[in-house]
Amino acid sequence: MPRSLGGLRKLRVDRDVLILATPVLWGASFPAAKIALRYLPPFPFMALTRTLGLLSILCLIPFMRRAEPTRPASIRQVVVPGLWLGALIFAGYTLQTEGLARTTATNAGFITGLYVVFVPLIAALAFRQRVPRAAWIAVLISVCGLGLLSIQSFSSIRLHSGDLLVLGGAVAWAGHVTIIGRISARYPAWLLSTAQMAVTAAFQWLAVIGSGLHLDTVGTHGVWALLLVTGVVGSGLGYTLQIVAQQSLTSTRAVVILAGEALFSAFFAAIWIGERLSPHQWFGAVLVLAAMVFSELAARRGQRIQIEPASVE
């Protein structure tokens, strides 16, 4: 096998590992956010965590630049992409939070998970990207799993006024994943990650101008530690790893793996705050995991079909 081809395969494996780490980090931050929101209103919480996320990315820049020493870097390059991505993160969180205040956690959890379906739809309709049949199968399996995982009781499923807001948030998340899949390979990961988090943090700070940050509660009940987990781990590291990983993955493949956030959220919530899953929720978790495994195996099989004939020459 040629040396360059071997390096290409190693790069893909490394980024596969990164995309698998992203939902783990997001899932770990979920119970921390849930506890912190007992003491902080949503907008101050989001402003502080996005700011901490931005600061953590700035600390990582020297290490990330050494990993991409030959990539051209210009702040002007990422102004427009950063605005789009940052606005979508802000919209996703805001719509999801406002919708959650008007609907049940069950409905919000499942409807948010529908971004798994919206990503291949946006990719196919807006960008004329062909979505393989195996990817649609993985999407279908993951949606079924997310539904079972989100539903605590089948008798509690009712439509609420906030459901449309949560649905709008799901579309925003889908747009974010799709756009990153389209543009992330064009820019240095550290620059794009910094730009989107800076824009998101700016929007969040504008949103709290009227209400304030409620810093008097931050020093109580270990809230600072919870903010660090959510901001540094979930926002800073999580979104940065997503960008790096999506430089070599399709949006549809990435979103099936990112849907594992629900699985890892349940896992960490069970360990951290004692939440327990019912039998049908455990089955849903297995389906989400199965969708991730199926998506990866199908993608790797496609890579072998493309790579192996070239290695014979």
Assess whether pLDDT exceeds 80 at residue 118: yes
pLDDT at 84: 96
pLDDT at 157: 62
Assess whether pLDDT exceeds 50 at residue 186: yes
Alpha helices, H only, the chain: 3-36, 42-67, 79-100, 105-113, 115-127, 133-150, 163-183, 189-207, 223-228, 238-246, 251-258, 260-272, 279-312
Look up residue 208 and give its DSSP letter: T
- Residue 213 banded pLDDT, cuts 50, 70, 90: confident
Question: pTM of this prediction?
Answer: 0.81
Q: Are 284 and 149 in contact (CB under 8 A)?
A: yes
- Residue 15 banded pLDDT, cuts 50, 70, 90: low
Q: Residue 161 phi/psi, 5° resolution?
A: -65, -25
Q: Residue 240 and residue 67: Cα distance in Å, rounded? A: 13
> How confident is the model over 64-90, as a mean pLDDT?
84
pLDDT at 215: 73
What residue has token string 């989100």?
A: 150
pLDDT at 103: 74
Residue closest to 90 by CA, chosen among 188, 176, 161: 176
Q: Residue 262 and residue 291: Cα distance in Å, rounded? A: 13
